[in-house]
Structure 1
């Protein structure tokens, strides 16, 4: 079910051009090589024209673990997603907990209020939606959670 939902969600987001063109990760027909070629061309033109280019690269540690559920869920309706789908995604994320086992002793469960589940098909798409608004208002280009900004 998760795979079907993810395929339909990504198709909807792509058809309606709701994911920033500055995001190259987790998308069909886009690759890290495409982003590198684009940025190299952009910076080369800036250096030829102005004699300089400034770029900053950022890799957010454990970015998938930092997706704040409440913020992500509040953004979903703005993409025009059906209420039932938003509710399903909320159910998918909320109510999760973690236990730690050491030498056979198990801790009490602790609620998880952030992060998208590692290894789940839907997680990359949810991550894209979480950071999408940042890309739309900035000059940052991303491949998944690796970001590069420039001032040209």
Structure 2
């Protein structure tokens, strides 16, 4: 059994791809206002919002438990509306050696298609796939979509 894996999901939303991308690439700290039941805080620890190499710290709920994550922004592609985060500290690293998250929004039929990719390497075969994190990002996507379409 392989210790490396990847989970992906696609979510259709009504919000424009550029507006969705802008929140995750440049303003992730707004997510605690958008989806407070899932994200309790997002703080900048190093660098600048919206800049590759910046380090952000999340307080979030995962499967009903308060957890934390420190991530570095690995890549921002404004042309393809994609942002990649690499986990460098936090609860997920208790189970995974590597945990990367990429979110990409693509314009589609007046809205967008949001594609999430979770790439990970488990510390052992006993560790399950991070399906709870996939559900968390799905819920966050739906909440952000509702927020962005309310503002339109």
TM-score by length of 2: 0.27
Q: Which has a greater percent of helix? A: 1
TM-score by length of 1: 0.27
Higher RCO structure, 1 or 2 (CA under 8 Å, sep 6+): 1
Q: Which has a greater percent of strand? A: 2
- Higher-Rg structure is 1
